[in-house]
């Protein structure tokens, strides 16, 4: 009896508490697993560091592409880098007037190119004789610079609309549109956007001349439709001198943007949009 009891109390019990079972819990497999986990973490940190280095190299390559070919660089959101402060400021702007006055953005009669990389998907909306319409290539560059900045700030191209009252400018903008944005960035006339909205809208006014002739821009109803298509941000790109010269309505609208919104020159936009 004493022997069995002793074995019961001190033998098997002792093994359960302090013997092999205890050693396995404290120093056996568990110790080896902890060491393995540490090695795994070390490998992960090393790979993470290599990833950061590769990302930094990619960013440098993106900057070089933006300087040599703006259209190609706009294919990738990462090709344009804005500081967090710039992104926040851009997204907080509700009204923005981008002034092209004095920035080599003169209007011209539109002449379609012989071969367009972005054919017009809806030719019925455009003039039968596009040469009678107006276009402004310098202003088109400013429009795309601002679109790129909006994309870099986090607004997807599907949520951005480019509106202009001139069919010639619609065609020009579509011709200049990067292939990666062909089916994503909508470009249309004011009438084409009626009844629909986008998060951000960029309006290309086109007209820039010493006589102050504004044509379709004098139609207050159409301009009101253009401005009210935006839910979050609207940018009006135009020549302040031309727009203010003759039409009281346009003068009031431009001054409203300047007073209640923000003012920026086309040169500034080309710089922060990576196309300067």
Same domain flag for 8 and 104:
no
Examine the fold and report which residue of 30, 50, 67 is the final residue of a domain before the chain moves on.
Answer: 67
Tokens for 273? 């949009």
Residues 50 and 90 in one domain: no
The residue among 47, 67, 87 that closes a domain is 67
CATH code, 219: 3.40.50.300
Determine the number of helices (DSSP H) and then strands (DSSP E) in the chain: 13, 8
Task: Based on the fold, state whether residues 61 and 90 are members of the same structural domain.
Answer: no
Q: What is the dihedral of CA 131, 211, 251, 222, to 10 degrees?
A: -20
Residues of the domain holding 171: 72-272
Cβ–Cβ < 8 Å for 163, 193: yes
Domain identity same for 41 and 153: no
Identify whether residues 176 and 61 lie together within a single domain: no
Residue 47: per-residue pLDDT:
52
The per-residue pLDDT for range 23-49, each reduced to its tens digit, is: 334 444 444 445 555 555 455 555 545
Residues 86 and 187 in one domain: yes
Judge whether residue 51 has pLDDT over 70. Answer: no
Is residue 182 very low, low, confident or very high in pLDDT (cuts 50, 70, 90)? Answer: confident
Q: What is the pLDDT of residues 99-147, one digit of tens each?
A: 999 999 999 998 776 544 444 444 333 343 444 689 999 999 999 999 9
Token pair of 69 as six digits: 């070919």
Structure confidence at residue 7 as a pLDDT band (50, 70, 90): very low
Choose between 1 and 252: higher pLDDT.
Answer: 252
Same domain, 41 and 158: no
3-state secondary structure 160-211: EEEECCCHHHHHHHHHHCCHHHCCCCEEECHHHHCCCCEEEEEEECCCCCCC
| Total number of domains constituting the chain | 2
């Amino acid at each position: 009896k004493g022997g069995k009891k002793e074995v019961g109390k001190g033998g098997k019990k002792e093994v359960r508490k302090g013997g092999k079972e205890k050693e396995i819990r404290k120093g056996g497999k568990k110790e080896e697993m902890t060491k393995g986990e540490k090695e795994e973490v070390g490998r992960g940190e090393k790979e993470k560091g290599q990833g950061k280095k590769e990302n930094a190299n990619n960013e440098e390559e993106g900057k070089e592409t933006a300087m040599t070919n703006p259209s190609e660089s706009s294919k990738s959101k990462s090709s344009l880098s804005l500081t967090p402060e710039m992104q926040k400021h851009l997204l907080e702007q509700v009204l923005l007037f981008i002034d092209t006055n004095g920035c080599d953005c003169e209007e011209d009669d539109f002449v379609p190119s012989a071969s367009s990389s972005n054919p017009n998907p809806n030719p019925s909306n455009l003039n039968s004789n596009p040469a009678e319409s107006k276009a402004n290539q310098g202003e088109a560059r400013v429009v795309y610079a601002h679109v790129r900045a909006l994309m870099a700030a986090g607004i997807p191209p599907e949520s951005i609309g480019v509106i202009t009252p001139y069919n010639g400018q619609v065609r020009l903008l579509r011709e200049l549109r990067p292939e990666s944005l062909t089916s994503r960035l909508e470009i249309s006339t004011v009438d084409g956007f009626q009844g629909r909205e986008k998060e951000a809208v960029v309006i290309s006014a086109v007209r820039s001349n010493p006589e102050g002739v504004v044509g379709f821009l004098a139609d207050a109803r159409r301009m009101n439709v253009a401005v009210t298509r935006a839910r979050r941000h609207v940018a009006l790109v135009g020549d302040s001198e031309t727009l203010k010269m003759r039409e009281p309505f346009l003068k009031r609208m431009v001054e409203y943007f300047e007073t209640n919104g923000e003012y920026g020159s086309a040169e500034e936009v080309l710089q922060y949009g990576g196309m300067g």
